[in-house]
Amino acid sequence: MDKMRIIGGQPLKGTVQVSGSKNAALPILISALLTEEVCDISHVPVLQDIKTVLKLLNHLGVQTDSKNGKVQLSAKNVMSFEAPYDLVRTMRASVLVLGPLLARFGQAKVSLPGGCAIGARPIGFHLTGLEKLGAEIKLENGYVVATCKKLRGGRVTFEFPSVGATEHLMMTAVLAEGETVLENCAKEPEIVDLAKMLRSMGAEIEGDGTETIAISGKPSLHGTHYHVMGDRIEAGTFLAAGFITGGAVTVEGISPEFLEAVLSKYEEAGAQIERKENAVKLGVIERARGTDVITQPFPGFPTDMQAQFMAVMCLADGASAITETIFENRFMHVPELIRLGADITIRGKSALVRGKKTLIGAPLMATDLRASASLILGGLAAQGETWVNRIYHLDRGYEKMEEKLKLLGAKIERVSW
Ligand code: UD1
């Protein structure tokens, strides 16, 4: 199992190229199930979660060929309609194969994902939505078993703007007969990217990026070439690395508008931000100021940046209240940041961070993807040596993180046991 060893205290300086977005790439790759023609997807990050989704697609009979961030998929000979527990358990986005399989083949069997480190994360909104389009759904032995004669368009109003449920229904409705209207949709940029991919396959979708999405179903879709958007969470994390170390970091390959809630918080906390056409530059001339944050669906502050922002606040001048409203158990980085000397108290959904002048290196344990990024940030700023254990969490979502950090001047190395 790999660990990361960091010697903190170097101000990070330079430019980082952002990889393709993990959260956009996952549903985009799964969308290849919607056609028997070939789909060529580029700018796919090389990550554990991507390997898992390709393994799942292979299991279903999809032929895949991936090299250097380019993936070719052919779902001409789908032979299985089942997503097994072992694959869904390691990556929840696997449940998104349910709707596309159902829409194209009239049957699907997908393991219920179960909870994960950051919360219960049920899929009720997905299943209720699919039922509205005509799916018959049963739960058997921990599996969702879905069948249908023909899916028909319908009106689905989500109880909460769930990213996964919005994507799932959009990917399903493109092959349902007639019109579908999805209401109270999530507006995340990854949903817009998925809609663009589906349109490039011949789907008719309007309103993505707003709370109402209208889809006019087609009898079939065709193959496509598609380039995945840049990863806004990776970009925000590298900017946080510049911020917490008092450096100057530019991230390239990301539209600043996708990061606006994060950038304006960084500004409120004292960073200097320059927004460019496809890049963002962060500079620091003073210590960060304590700044409150509440996580919200897009365009609010993303829950996927909460842990990283908290790491920055651990060294801020003054206190900050960080409130998590999306997931119920997303403060697992707190006890680890405290091991670096941070002063943090959790009260229900909020963490009160009282900024310290210094953090001191320590051995740490990563618990989930974004928590592990916050521990790396803490280690980069702490005095002395920090070890971050269980970095397989990090490898699920950050491509070559230590190599990119080294280019910025970080003293970091991966150590294999
Ligand atoms: C996606 C992202 C994840 C991000 C999250 C919120 C991917 C692969 N993952 O996860 O990185 O943190 O959006 O921006 O894109 N919920 C229900 N029932 C449902 C569905 C969701 O109660 O059927 C709840 C969840 O438990 C959670 C909230 O809704 O509390 C938001 O979840 P959702 O937006 O669905 O997140 P994911 O799509 O799982």
What does the pLDDT look like over 193-210, one tens digit per residue? 999 999 999 999 999 999
163 and 255 inside one domain: no
- The band of 329, judged by pLDDT with boundaries at 50, 70 and 90, is confident
Q: Which of 56, 97, 121, 128 to mutate to test the pocket of ligand 1 (most atoms within 8 A of CB)?
A: 121
Which of 219, 241, 256 is a domain's end point? 219
Distance from CA of residue 231 to its chain's centroid? 8
| Ligand 1: centre distance to CA 121 (Å) | 7
| Ligand 1: centre distance to CA 237 (Å) | 20
- Tokens 């840049």 correspond to 230
For residue 387, being part of any structural domain is answered with yes
Q: Which of 162, 168, 232, 327 to mutate to test the pocket of ligand 1 (most atoms within 8 A of CB)?
A: 162
Span 241-270, average pLDDT: 98
- The band of 90, judged by pLDDT with boundaries at 50, 70 and 90, is confident
Q: What is the pLDDT of residue 115?
A: 63
10 Å Cβ neighbour count for 251? 29
Indicate which atom in ligand 1 lies nearest the CA of residue 127.
23
For residue 224, being part of any structural domain is answered with no
Indicate which atom in ligand 1 lies nearest the CA of residue 162.
34
What CATH number corresponds to the domain at position 86? Answer: 3.65.10.10
Indicate which atom in ligand 1 lies nearest the CA of residue 124.
23
Distance CA 216, CA 177 (A): 8
125 and 26 inside one domain: yes
What the block records as the tokens of 53 is 């989704």
- Give the pLDDT confidence of 11-27 residue by residue, as tens digits: 999 999 999 999 999 99
Count of domains observed in the chain: 2
Residue nearest to atom 35 of ligand 1 (CA): 162
For residue 12, being part of any structural domain is answered with yes
Q: What is the pLDDT of residue 266?
A: 98
Catalytic residue list contains 185:
no
Q: What is the SS3 assignment for 254?
A: coil
For residue 77, being part of any structural domain is answered with yes
Distance CA 19, CA 53 (A): 18
Q: What is the pLDDT of residue 190?
A: 98
- Give the pLDDT confidence of 331-355 residue by residue, as tens digits: 999 999 999 999 999 999 999 999 9
DSSP β-bridge partners for residue 385:
7
Q: Which of 21, 170, 228, 326 to mutate to test the pocket of ligand 1 (most atoms within 8 A of CB)?
A: 326
Residue nearest to atom 8 of ligand 1 (CA): 23
- The band of 328, judged by pLDDT with boundaries at 50, 70 and 90, is confident
106 and 122 inside one domain: yes
Span 102-125, average pLDDT: 86
* DSSP letter assigned to residue 28: H
| Ligand 1: centre distance to CA 302 (Å) | 11
Q: What is the pLDDT of residue 61?
A: 97
Span 272-301, average pLDDT: 97
202 and 295 inside one domain: no
* pTM check: above 0.75: yes
Q: State the DSSP H helix or E strand holding residue 223, giving kind and residue range, or none if neither.
A: none
Residue nearest to atom 9 of ligand 1 (CA): 23
Which of 39, 116, 148, 185 is the catalytic position? Answer: 116
Who wins on pLDDT, 234 or 122? 234
381 and 303 inside one domain: yes
175 and 260 inside one domain: no
- The band of 214, judged by pLDDT with boundaries at 50, 70 and 90, is very high
| Ligand 1: centre distance to CA 330 (Å) | 12
12 and 34 inside one domain: no
Span 413-417, average pLDDT: 91
252 and 287 inside one domain: yes
| Ligand 1: centre distance to CA 190 (Å) | 13
Q: Which amino acid is at 274?
A: E
Lowest mean pLDDT among 116-125, 163-172, 189-198: 116-125
Span 295-315, average pLDDT: 98
* Cα–Cα–Cα angle for 103, 61, 202, rounded to 5 degrees: 40
| Ligand 1: centre distance to CA 122 (Å) | 9
| Ligand 1: centre distance to CA 163 (Å) | 6
For residue 370, being part of any structural domain is answered with yes
Looking only at the bridges linking them, the beta strands covering 224-227 and 38-42 are parallel
Indicate which atom in ligand 1 lies nearest the CA of residue 161.
34
* 121 pLDDT more than 90: no
373 and 307 inside one domain: yes
Looking only at the bridges linking them, the beta strands covering 363-365 and 385-389 are parallel
Indicate which atom in ligand 1 lies nearest the CA of residue 233.
11
Residue nearest to atom 13 of ligand 1 (CA): 163
Which of 184, 219, 254 is a domain's end point? 219
Percent of the chain scored above 90 by pLDDT? 94
User: Which protein residues touch ligand 1 with a CB less than 6 Å away?
Assistant: 23, 26, 92-93, 119-126, 160, 162-165, 186, 302-304, 326-327
For every residue of 282-296, DSSP letters joined together read: EE-SSPPBP--EEB-
Mean of the per-residue pLDDT values for the chain?
96
178 and 236 inside one domain: no
Q: What is the SS3 assignment for 229?
A: coil
Residue nearest to atom 38 of ligand 1 (CA): 164
For residue 225, being part of any structural domain is answered with no
Distance from CA of residue 56 to its chain's centroid? 18
Do 372 and 391 contact (CB within 8 A), yes or no? yes
Q: What is the pLDDT of residue 60?
A: 97
Looking at beta carbons, which pairs linking 335-343 to residues 24 or more positions away fall under 8 Å? 336/364, 336/365, 336/366, 336/367, 336/371, 336/375, 336/378, 337/310, 337/311, 337/374, 337/375, 337/378, 339/363, 339/364, 340/314, 340/364, 340/378, 340/379, 340/382, 340/386, 341/382, 342/314, 342/378, 343/314
Residue nearest to atom 31 of ligand 1 (CA): 162
What the block records as the tokens of 316 is 């801020």
Q: Which domain holds residue 214?
A: 22-219
50 and 137 inside one domain: yes
For residue 178, being part of any structural domain is answered with yes
* 174 pLDDT more than 90: yes
323 and 198 inside one domain: no
Which of 198, 219, 240 is a domain's end point? 219
